[in-house]
Structure 1
Amino acid sequence: MDTAMQANFDNLESEDKNLQYQAFMNIIEATKQEVDWAYEVWDVLIIGLTSPDNHKRSRYAQFLANLAISDPEKRMLTDFPTVWEVTKDKRTVTARHSLQAIWRIALAGKEQRDMVVNQLVNRFETNEGEKNYTLVRFDIIQDLRNLYDEIQEAGIKRIALDLIEKEADAKYQKKYAKVWKNV
């Protein structure tokens, strides 16, 4: 890892919120492509998923989701349950930010894609009664749309549309369907 990227990770701990935010954005941007330093931070990020600091949990889950494309050892197949747990965080914003990034893990390969899609489908089908379950469902539909936009796989679209059809409340069914408008 070069010194600039190391400085970004260091700045995540800064007292200056603007510096923290800029560091976060720099890391997110860098990890949208493969990087050669993923394993230099991987274990620290995994441990941080259980930090008492909700900002750290959220950031680290997002970083790991992005770093999945830089994981030739396929560690994510083993570490996914720990990342997925953050999508159920007691802090709504932490849970949502993590869930909104989770689709990026599916870009790492077929095994990862199947794992992520299966978890998203299962969560959509079983989360009724969960706190903010309609927001969670919306995020799941958006995740599937983001994945579809990236890989253009018709099966992903079909899965999302099938989930939307399963929504019993017409108001939410319409809201979720808007995510797939113009496809």
Structure 2
Amino acid sequence: MGHDLSETHPAKYLMGNHELVKELFKEYGILADRNVTEGKMLVANQICAELTVHTEAEEALIYPLAETVINNETVLKEAKVMHLSAGDLIAQIQSMDPEDPLLDAKVFVLGKYIEYCFTQEERRVLPTILETSAVVELGIELKAREAALLNSLSDADGSTGPKKLKAATAKMIKH
């Protein structure tokens, strides 16, 4: 029996993740407008977890493949800088107090930055993945890796553990 390409194709899978993260940013915006402090921090932590896992999986699986098929070194260097910059903002958000007056601004800036990163990735990196022969296997591996990473960041109740998330983000920034 074949795999559903919409679930295993890495480009489609990552674009689905992009949509999930965009929805989380919208949810954060609604909570920020209503000044729901506790809810905002929960969503901010979820955004940070999703982005941390997404970035780690991309750097481990997608970008090594992209390096073999993209003939433009600048694209790959820009992607690395974008990931590092996003990691810095994620670390700042994670270390903030929920009452910090700059929290909403930092999450908003991260959202706009990530939207730009996703657009660049979808236009300049993911199309090259479509042309490779190991694309379905890569998608299966990507999906499994992201699930394992998210699971490793979860507490016993299934919520994202802030301490585990901070450690994962710190690791991401060092790369």
Tell me the TM-score normalized by structure 1: 0.29
Tell me the TM-score normalized by structure 2: 0.30
Q: Which has the higher helix share?
A: 2
Bigger relative contact order, structure 1 or 2 (CA pairs below 8 A, ≥6 apart): 2
